[in-house]
Amino acid sequence: MSQHLLTVDSLARENVDHLLRVAARMEPIANRRQVTRVLEGAVLGNLFFEASTRTRVSFNAAFCRLGGSVCDTTGFTFSSMAKGESLYDTSRVMSGYCDAIVMRHPDQGSVAEFAAATNVPVINGGDGPGEHPSQALLDLYTIDKEFQRLNKSLSGAHILLTGDLKYGRTVHSLIKLLSLYGPLRITLVSPPGLEMPSALIDLVASRGHRIEQRSSLACDFSDLDVVYATRIQKERFTDEMNESFQGLSGDFMINRDFLDQRCSPSTIVMHPLPRDSRPGANDLDVNLNGDPRLAIFRQTDNGIPMRMAIFATLLKVDALIDEDQRPVRWFVPSQTGTLDR
Amino acid sequence: MSQHLLTVDSLARENVDHLLRVAARMEPIANRRQVTRVLEGAVLGNLFFEASTRTRVSFNAAFCRLGGSVCDTTGFTFSSMAKGESLYDTSRVMSGYCDAIVMRHPDQGSVAEFAAATNVPVINGGDGPGEHPSQALLDLYTIDKEFQRLNKSLSGAHILLTGDLKYGRTVHSLIKLLSLYGPLRITLVSPPGLEMPSALIDLVASRGHRIEQRSSLACDFSDLDVVYATRIQKERFTDEMNESFQGLSGDFMINRDFLDQRCSPSTIVMHPLPRDSRPGANDLDVNLNGDPRLAIFRQTDNGIPMRMAIFATLLKVDALIDEDQRPVRWFVPSQTGTLDR
Amino acid sequence: MSQHLLTVDSLARENVDHLLRVAARMEPIANRRQVTRVLEGAVLGNLFFEASTRTRVSFNAAFCRLGGSVCDTTGFTFSSMAKGESLYDTSRVMSGYCDAIVMRHPDQGSVAEFAAATNVPVINGGDGPGEHPSQALLDLYTIDKEFQRLNKSLSGAHILLTGDLKYGRTVHSLIKLLSLYGPLRITLVSPPGLEMPSALIDLVASRGHRIEQRSSLACDFSDLDVVYATRIQKERFTDEMNESFQGLSGDFMINRDFLDQRCSPSTIVMHPLPRDSRPGANDLDVNLNGDPRLAIFRQTDNGIPMRMAIFATLLKVDALIDEDQRPVRWFVPSQTGTLDR
């Protein structure tokens, strides 16, 4: 595996397989049955030049669970970059302070530019419309884990990606990773104007997968294994799209009716979160809360073992984890969420 | 004790007694004579969706003193909640990352709603006009500790609560806790329009305490044990109140003259802080700085052992503290503040 | 050494010598070859009431490398100081939570006022136009280390300070520290209106150094050992200065041509950073990136061992460092930056 994790494009099948295996070995620690201190003394620079509580805390907690310490930075105005400092300088300076760096930045390519200046491992935590590889990895890990639980296999699975497939960077990265496995049947459903870029469709098809585009969810999905829903981000819309889209968005909403009427009882629902739970938001329906098919919280939980696996692999301590463990001494609830099933 | 600490209403006398005892056992660690690592590997989510340096750092430091790591979040705009995420989702996601969660939020009831979604222990760090139970507990712990030092007893003590008794949430929670002890004599002095809610007065009276309301501090307080002053927060005032209140506020100010002329030498002064030290603020007078009767910094110091006790109790490591200790190796001043007496 | 580190004025030659020696002993830990846990259990209050990612993270990482935990505060609006809390109260409250405090604040003298209230060690992380002593110490440490590498001596060295010598607080503190060593030859080059204050020039001269002021870089610097460049901060300018300064700033820029044509191959270039790398900024030229004479990143790297030395000395654990070490187990690149020479 390369020195940094900037894009899923750099990951070969064997790299992904390795990360999935290491993540599985992290489960006892991520689930708070065991404690490890393998990174005790190491410092993570967790640089979020764009807002993201969830992803920031997930990386932070994952590094802490390995025994390390974290220096957080949030916002852009607080940064010397506002005074004209180049990404090169910021990168080289931070690299003298930290053993690993996670960076989120609004500009596509900025994290790669940052990484070019340093030999300290850099993880892309999202660069605007660009990449967010750890999300795709935890999504794939979730599918793999859910399939093991359900005695299913990635080979021959049917996966539905729906919502905003044009701007949703998580689905772009995920579909690339999925294309390393399979062969799969992938169905894409999005409103007009928000279709998956054709280059990605071609890539997936060229790797031997069956990929279909549809414009409606009103089909038979009785053999569906996974629905991966994404939010239709209205802030991306032009005025024109806004007009033509009036009243449409509800048609692309995943809810209990859709699952009950069109899918199988073993279809699981994923979403990169956050979802908009306000009335009329037409995002993934809250009426699925507490439904065992809703895998979205198992999915976010999986961010911890996968990010631990990424850190451990890049910092080359993955082989030390099994020996460096002791039992947790504090209270851990047997079930994390009150509605978990 | 229940799984979360959301309100003092859920605390029975035996729960409070337990927390006071555990806090006392935390003193050597809180006072930096001893180090414990009992929570090594644990992660606290310290979620402050409303500004509060003091309370945030106090919880953070208390968790660190137990050996744990902390993920801080400050502000609201940085949160996915700004994108329409429900408290349910935020809670369930954070619960997959953290072993305990402290939450401050501007909306009353929000912390309870957050806690309803998770089995991970949640501590209410203040929900707007609602509750802030750890403050009330450290206040009670302070009174108990000061009384031990002065060979006084909570039984028969005379406590004055003054300032804004209507909106000051700390006095509401404190008076509930105090009412579990005693019997006490409680005097309430506030400007017209800022009186303690009558439901609280009735509750305290029904528990056998002697409770009196006055509109002025110009009385004999020679048997007073504690004066608990609170800031009159002008931002809560209507225009009408502002007018009628002109010039009044100084009459409700606790200062050296009040203590010297109306109280006994053993009367201690408490305040939830921050106090407004700007000229004309009419908050607790700075002319008491360095006076041994001023207990406000002993009070904030007590936030550490009490919050350690809360964490240790909710995470069920309170029984492990005594064994898991070693001496501090770094320099600790014998007296924290230069004016401490 | 005194209890706090507020200004370089309080440092005698023997204090500085001690810090340089301790910093050198921190190198294996700062360079991530060794881990120490000597401050395990200690808590740093890292209070930044003014923006500074670099300095904040440097202090944070240095404290973590000693084994301690850090509570960060950034920004001013989030502070109870916005509600009228005095520096005295803030200081005394934070001192009950923390074992050491770093403070940056926009107002000159504020950190000293803060320190006056507490016996917990306080380090001035910059008080507006005032002092930033840890920067001067790491600058001196860098010169000392570079000279050792180059078999040079501080005695008889020639040091050029250039740029904004009037408002640049780092050069003020550095020249005071340098004046404890030597005897030196110091050349000052700045645009008209931005000269070094004469009191400082007199102080340095009175200590037996040869100090010269010039208004241009167009001289022979063939015996120069160090050029210390600083940014000309246009935000400090009056309208008048702005006008007369049009086109001038490039004349005070340090770049490859200046080094190649006027200096010796062993002249090193320092800068307190951040530098403005935008075109037309006329700050230290990016065309020196990758040039071994450019010492600016070795300089920022040195912030870690020097700040570790400051913490260890103030907290009196400097004598424990050599025994409390074990090897790092994670991957550390042999060269931090990709262009490091």
Chain segment C130-152, per-residue pLDDT in tens: 889 999 999 999 999 999 999 99
Q: From the list C40, C85, C98, which residue is nearest B274 (CB)?
A: C85
Structural domain C8-131+301-327, CATH architecture? 3-Layer(aba) Sandwich (3.40)
Closest to C173 (Cα-Cα) out of C336, C290, C288, C11: C11
Contact of C78 with chain B, judged by CB distance below 8 Å, is answered with yes
Return the percentage of chain B with pLDDT > 70, whole number.
Answer: 93
Q: By the 8 A CB rule, do A32 and A15 touch?
A: no
Contact of A229 with chain B, judged by CB distance below 8 Å, is answered with no
Contact of B47 with chain C, judged by CB distance below 8 Å, is answered with no
Domain B8-130+303-327 matching CATH 3.30.420.40: the answer reads no
Q: From the list B65, B281, B334, which residue is nearest C43 (CB)?
A: B65
Amino acid code (one letter) for A159: I
CA distance A145 to chain C (A): 28
Q: DSSP secondary-structure letter at C197?
A: P
DSSP three-state, residue C124: strand
Enter the CATH code of domain C134-298: 3.40.50.1370
Q: From the list A37, A74, A301, which residue is nearest B78 (CB)?
A: A74
Residue C20 has pLDDT above 90, yes or no: yes
Q: How far is residue C168's CA from residue A245's CA, in Å, rounded to a whole number?
A: 56
Q: From the list B58, B329, B336, which residue is nearest C320 (CB)?
A: B329
According to the model, what pLDDT value does residue A78 have?
47
Residue that the structure tokens 């772009």 belong to:
A172
Q: Kindly report the number of other CB atoms within 10 A of residue C152's CB atom.
A: 17
Residue-wise pLDDT tens digits, A113-129: 999 999 999 999 999 88
Contact A273 B69 (CB under 8 A): no
Strands C34-35 and C326-327: antiparallel
Residue C209 has pLDDT above 70, yes or no: yes
According to the model, what pLDDT value does residue A236 have?
62
Contact A57 B73 (CB under 8 A): yes
Q: How far is residue C214's CA from residue C158's CA, in Å, rounded to a whole number?
A: 14
Q: From the list B43, B77, B316, which residue is nearest A51 (CB)?
A: B77
Interface test with A, best of B36, B81, B89 (most A CBs within 10 A): B89
Compute the average pLDDT of residues A209-213.
96
Contact of A21 with chain B, judged by CB distance below 8 Å, is answered with no
Q: How far is residue A231's CA from residue C75's CA, in Å, rounded to a whole number?
A: 33
Topology of domain B134-299, CATH = Rossmann fold (3.40.50)
For residue B104, list its beta bridge partners. Answer: B48
* CB interface of A with C, residues 87-106, below 8 Å: 88-99
Q: From the list C274, C289, C329, which residue is nearest A85 (CB)?
A: C274
Return the percentage of chain A with pLDDT > 90, whole number.
Answer: 80
Return the percentage of chain B with pLDDT > 90, whole number.
Answer: 80
Cβ-Cβ contacts under 8 Å, B270 against chain C: none
For residue C269, list its beta bridge partners. Answer: C227, C294
Q: How far is residue C54's CA from residue C286's CA, in Å, rounded to a whole number?
A: 19
Domain spans of chain A, in order of start = 8-131+302-327, 134-299
CA distance A156 to chain B (A): 31
Structural domain A8-131+302-327, CATH architecture? 3-Layer(aba) Sandwich (3.40)
Interface test with A, best of B77, B83, B113, B310 (most A CBs within 10 A): B83
pTM of the predicted structure, to 2 decimals: 0.96
Q: Kindly report the number of other CB atoms within 10 A of residue C286's CB atom.
A: 18
Q: By the 8 A CB rule, do A289 and B88 touch?
A: yes
**Residue B231 or C330, more confident:** C330
Contact of B323 with chain A, judged by CB distance below 8 Å, is answered with no
Tokens matching residue A99: 């053993």
Q: How far is residue A276's CA from residue C71's CA, in Å, rounded to a whole number?
A: 32
Residue-wise pLDDT tens digits, C246-301: 656 567 889 999 999 999 999 999 999 999 888 877 789 999 999 999 999 999 99
Closest to B42 (Cα-Cα) out of B4, B68, B71, B70: B68
Residue B252 has pLDDT above 90, yes or no: no
Contact B337 C78 (CB under 8 A): no
Q: How far is residue B37's CA from residue B324's CA, in Å, rounded to a whole number?
A: 7
DSSP three-state, residue B100: strand
Q: DSSP secondary-structure letter at B196?
A: P
According to the model, what pLDDT value does residue B29 have?
98
Residue A250 has pLDDT above 80, yes or no: no
Region label for B182, one of left (φ > 0), alpha (ψ between -120 and 50) or beta (otherwise): left
CA distance B40 to chain A (A): 8
- Planar angle of CA B119, B124, B130, nearest 5 degrees: 130
Cβ-Cβ contacts under 8 Å, B51 against chain C: 77-79, 82
Contact C336 A41 (CB under 8 A): no
Q: By the 8 A CB rule, do C188 and C162 touch?
A: yes
Q: To the nearest whole number, what is the mean pLDDT of chain B?
A: 92
Contact C36 A38 (CB under 8 A): no
Contact of C9 with chain A, judged by CB distance below 8 Å, is answered with no
Q: Taking CA atoms, what residue in C is nearest to A87?
A: C277
Contact of C53 with chain A, judged by CB distance below 8 Å, is answered with yes
For residue B109, list its beta bridge partners. Answer: none
Contact A41 C74 (CB under 8 A): no
According to the model, what pLDDT value does residue C341 have?
85
For residue B129, name the pLDDT band (cuts at 50, 70, 90). confident
Contact of C74 with chain A, judged by CB distance below 8 Å, is answered with yes
Cα-Cα end-to-end distance for chain A? 36
Q: One fold for both B8-130+303-327 and B134-299?
A: yes
Tokens matching residue B8: 């003092």
Compute the average pLDDT of residues B246-257.
78
For chain B, the chains sharing at least 3 beta-carbon pairs closer than 8 angstroms are A, C
Residue-wise pLDDT tens digits, A67-113: 999 999 887 654 566 678 899 999 999 999 999 999 999 999 999 99
Residue C78 has pLDDT above 60, yes or no: no
Task: Count Cα atoms within 13 angstroms, Cβ side, for A269.
Answer: 27
Q: How far is residue A196's CA from residue C76's CA, in Å, rounded to a whole number?
A: 44
Q: By the 8 A CB rule, do A141 and A306 touch?
A: yes
B153-173 b/e (C-beta count within 10 Å ≥ 16 → b): ebeebbbbbbbbbbbbbbbbb
Contact of A82 with chain B, judged by CB distance below 8 Å, is answered with no
Tokens matching residue B234: 């002008």
Q: From the list B38, B97, B119, which residue is nearest A57 (CB)?
A: B97
Cβ-Cβ contacts under 8 Å, A96 against chain C: 297, 300-301, 303-304, 336
Q: By the 8 A CB rule, do C150 and C281 touch?
A: no
**DSSP characters over A86-109:** -HHHHHHHHHTT-SEEEEEESSTT
Minimum mean pLDDT range among A166-170, A177-181, C118-122:
A166-170
Q: By the 8 A CB rule, do B172 and B204 touch?
A: no
- Identify which of A80-89, A189-198, A311-320 has the greatest average pLDDT: A311-320
C-alpha distances out from residue B252 to A49, B215, C193, Å = 47, 9, 54
According to the model, what pLDDT value does residue B78 have?
47
Residue that the structure tokens 């935020």 belong to:
B90
Calculate the CA C141 to chain-centre distance: 9
Cβ-Cβ contacts under 8 Å, B85 against chain A: 273-277
Minimum mean pLDDT range among A289-303, B140-154, B155-169, B277-291:
B277-291
According to the model, what pLDDT value does residue A244 have?
66
Residue B316 has pLDDT above 50, yes or no: yes
Residue-wise pLDDT tens digits, C8-18: 999 999 999 99
Cβ-Cβ contacts under 8 Å, A102 against chain C: none
Calculate helix-pair angle for C53-65, C13-30, nearest 10 degrees. Answer: 80
Tokens matching residue C242: 């702005």
Contact of B316 with chain A, judged by CB distance below 8 Å, is answered with yes
Residue B143 has pLDDT above 70, yes or no: yes
Minimum mean pLDDT range among B264-273, B303-312, C241-250:
C241-250
Amino acid code (one letter) for A3: Q
Q: DSSP secondary-structure letter at C287?
A: G
Contact of A61 with chain C, judged by CB distance below 8 Å, is answered with no
Contact of C217 with chain B, judged by CB distance below 8 Å, is answered with no
Q: DSSP secondary-structure letter at C196?
A: P
Residues 6+ apart with CB under 8 A from B303: B58, B62, B134, B135, B138, C96, C97
Residue C229 has pLDDT above 60, yes or no: yes
Contact of B71 with chain C, judged by CB distance below 8 Å, is answered with no
Task: Count Cβ–Cβ pairs < 8 Å, chain B vs chain C.
Answer: 123
Tokens matching residue B95: 């619960």
**Phi and psi at residue C187, to the nearest 5°:** -110, 135
Residue B177 has pLDDT above 90, yes or no: yes
Contact of B80 with chain A, judged by CB distance below 8 Å, is answered with yes
Q: By the 8 A CB rule, do B269 and B286 touch?
A: no
For residue B100, list its beta bridge partners. Answer: B44
Residue A238 has pLDDT above 70, yes or no: no
Residue-wise pLDDT tens digits, A25-49: 999 999 999 999 999 999 999 999 8
- Planar angle of CA C67, C73, C74, nearest 5 degrees: 130
- Mark out the alpha helices in C77-235 (DSSP H runs): 87-97, 110-115, 133-149, 169-178, 198-206
Contact of C341 with chain A, judged by CB distance below 8 Å, is answered with no
Residues 6+ apart with CB under 8 A from A46: A56, A59, A60, A63, A70, A71, A72, A73, A101, A102
Contact A97 C61 (CB under 8 A): yes
Contact of B40 with chain A, judged by CB distance below 8 Å, is answered with yes
Cβ-Cβ contacts under 8 Å, C289 against chain A: 88
Residues 6+ apart with CB under 8 A from A17: none
Q: ipTM of this model? A: 0.95
Residues 6+ apart with CB under 8 A from C251: C191, C216, C217
According to the model, what pLDDT value does residue A14 have?
97
Interface test with C, best of A3, A64, A71 (most C CBs within 10 A): A71
Contact of C336 with chain A, judged by CB distance below 8 Å, is answered with yes
CA distance B176 to chain C (A): 26
Contact C88 B289 (CB under 8 A): yes
Cβ-Cβ contacts under 8 Å, B45 against chain A: 57
